[in-house]
Amino acid sequence: MDRDEILSWVEAERLSLADFLDDLDDHEWKQASLCPGWTMHDVAAHLTTSARTVSMRTALLDTAKGVIRARGDFNRMIADQARERAARFGPAELVARFRETAGSPLRDPGSRPLDPLVDALVHGQDVARPLGRVREMPAERAIAALGRVLGTGFYGAPKRLRGTRLVATDLDWSAGDGPDEVRGPGGDLLLLATGRAAGLSGVSGPGVGRIAAAL
């Protein structure tokens, strides 16, 4: 895909998500997100780290230090960074920083151009769904993000979706050659691929039970 187009999608999703976060009240900021153990405040703090305006060298050093402190546990490092940042900055400041860097081409070390799009789309659902709010995911963007998730082991999708064939109902797209089919909007398939059981509510097919068990 064209990197300029991807970056424009990332910027649009970030700005839309910043507007969404700006509308949360104090009580909602403290509520649990779809990310286990993370509040809405923690998710917002995490989002500002991936769009930070620092050099790649500085980002690499920060990541190395974080991994060492987390004793090699990458997920723990990400969670620690999010909570530390949430403790330092209030909601309004985090939203302002997120909005200011929405168009930044910088990304986490080792990530690809589509990873920030995955981050914005999925974390947008992480904060919206527990609050009973709806954040639409444009089908083309969701499918592009899903292709990235399925193409790497980083998100755990190959193991999680083993034995299933995914079929999008809002775009002409499918992936996988397993015996069990799962059909649904690209956004819900993306949630399942990234380990969110919330995506089960929007899908159907004989493979749903298989994925539910894997989750």
Amino acid 72: pLDDT: 56
Query: At 63, which CATH number?
Result: 1.20.120
169/111 same-domain check: no
76/143 same-domain check: no
75/177 same-domain check: no
186/151 same-domain check: yes
Strands 164-168 and 180-184 turn out to be: parallel
26/49 same-domain check: yes
Number of folded domains in the chain?
2
Helix (H, G, I), strand (E, B) or coil at 175: strand
Domain range spanning residue 13? Answer: 3-131
What predicted TM-score, i.e. pTM, was given to this entire model? 0.89
H or E element that contains 132: none
pLDDT in tens, the chain (215 residues): 799 999 999 999 999 999 999 999 999 999 999 999 999 999 999 999 866 545 445 454 555 444 445 455 657 788 888 999 999 999 999 999 999 999 998 887 788 999 999 999 999 999 999 999 999 999 999 999 999 999 999 999 999 999 999 999 999 999 998 899 999 999 999 999 999 999 999 999 999 999 999 99
What is the rounded CA–CA span in Å between residue 154 and residue 15? 26
What is the rounded CA–CA span in Å between residue 81 and residue 75? 10
Q: Are 186 and 139 in contact (CB under 8 A)?
A: yes
